[in-house]
Amino acid sequence: MDTQRWMWIAWPAFLAAAVLEMVVFAFVDPMDVHWMGSPLEWSRSAVYTAAFFAFWLVMLLCSLMTRSLARSAQDLNNGIVSEPLAD
């Protein structure tokens, strides 16, 4: 995939992760986050950063799946489209 197509995937995922980060941390205090039953001993900015990259990864996978499902048969077959078999 060329750079432009990767940006079609990464940029919307980045924006969605940023919005999700704002929404989540408007309601959740990073100091109240627990992992496996024990509180995280991370700073606020470390929790914000880790959460942002986790959100970005999930959104990136969603965008990648959308992009791959939107491809046409011609794109998938390198321009070769077969005709249906006659009955």
Distance (Å, whole) CA 19 – CA 27: 13
Domain that holds residue 20: 3-30+42-68
Global confidence as pTM: 0.75
Q: Is residue 75 part of a domain?
A: no
Q: Is residue 74 part of a domain?
A: no
- Checking if the pLDDT of 20 tops 90, the result is yes
At 61 the pLDDT is: 94
Tally of structural domains, the chain: 1
Q: Is residue 25 part of a domain?
A: yes
Instruction: Report in angstroms the alpha-carbon separations of 72 from 4, 41, 60, 78, 80.
Output: 18, 48, 21, 10, 11
At 1 the pLDDT is: 63
At 59 the pLDDT is: 94
Q: Is residue 21 part of a domain?
A: yes
- pLDDT of 42-85, one tens digit each? 888 998 999 999 999 999 999 999 888 887 777 777 767 677 77
Q: Is residue 11 part of a domain?
A: yes
At 31 the pLDDT is: 87
